[in-house]
């Protein structure tokens, strides 16, 4: 369980970095693309951990990519829809993309996420020795503290979003 929590944090952070870099190139300025103030995009952590958990034992890269695409699309649609409905906040909008579904998902990004997830699923086993070395009381405590801070941040920002502040 520890390794999945740590992977969640790592890939949520790396997803946030990718989003920030993408928007720097797109807009020329820094935009915090996370759901909260901290440097995390939990959708990436959830999507990659779920794909790894469900598909990590598959040997075919192509099958892994196709099934990862399905997992990522379901996660992206669900999160986009729920955040939009619950918080009245649209985190992304694919309405200008061909084949989009309510602007929450589109084929171009679904394929991209599927390939990225499949590649990461291949890399994760190489990270396991590093994770094992971090499985110490300090590593557990640090992971726990980071998770609590992250979920507190998301909860605070979500409650502000609901009240319109």
Regions of the chain short of the pLDDT cut 70: 161-165
Read off the pTM: 0.84
Q: What's residue 90's pLDDT?
A: 87
For residue 101, the Cα-to-chain-centroid distance in whole angstroms is: 19
Q: What's residue 137's pLDDT?
A: 93
80-127 pLDDT tens trace: 999 888 888 888 899 999 999 999 999 999 999 999 999 999 999 999
Of the candidates 50, 109, 102, the one whose C-alpha atom is nearest the C-alpha of residue 81 is: 102
Q: Distance between CA atoms of 122 and 124, rounded to whole angstroms?
A: 6
Residue 126: strand pairing partners? none
């Amino acid at each position: 369980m520890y390794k999945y929590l740590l992977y969640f944090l790592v890939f949520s952070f790396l997803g946030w970095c990718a989003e920030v870099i993408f928007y720097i190139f797109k807009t020329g300025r820094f935009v915090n693309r996370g759901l909260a103030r901290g440097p995390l995009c939990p959708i990436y952590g959830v999507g990659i951990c779920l794909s790894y958990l469900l598909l990590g034992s598959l040997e075919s890269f192509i099958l892994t990519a196709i099934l990862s695409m399905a997992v990522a699309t379901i996660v992206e649609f669900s999160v986009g829809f729920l955040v939009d409905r619950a918080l009245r906040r649209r985190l992304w909008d694919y309405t200008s993309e061909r084949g989009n579904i309510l602007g929450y998902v589109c084929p171009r990004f679904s394929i991209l996420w599927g390939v990225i997830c499949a590649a990461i699923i291949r890399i994760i086993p190489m990270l396991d020795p590093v994770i094992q070395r971090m499985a110490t009381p300090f590593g557990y405590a640090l992971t726990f503290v980071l998770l609590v801070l992250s979920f507190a941040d998301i909860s605070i920002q979500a409650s502000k979003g609901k009240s319109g502040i």
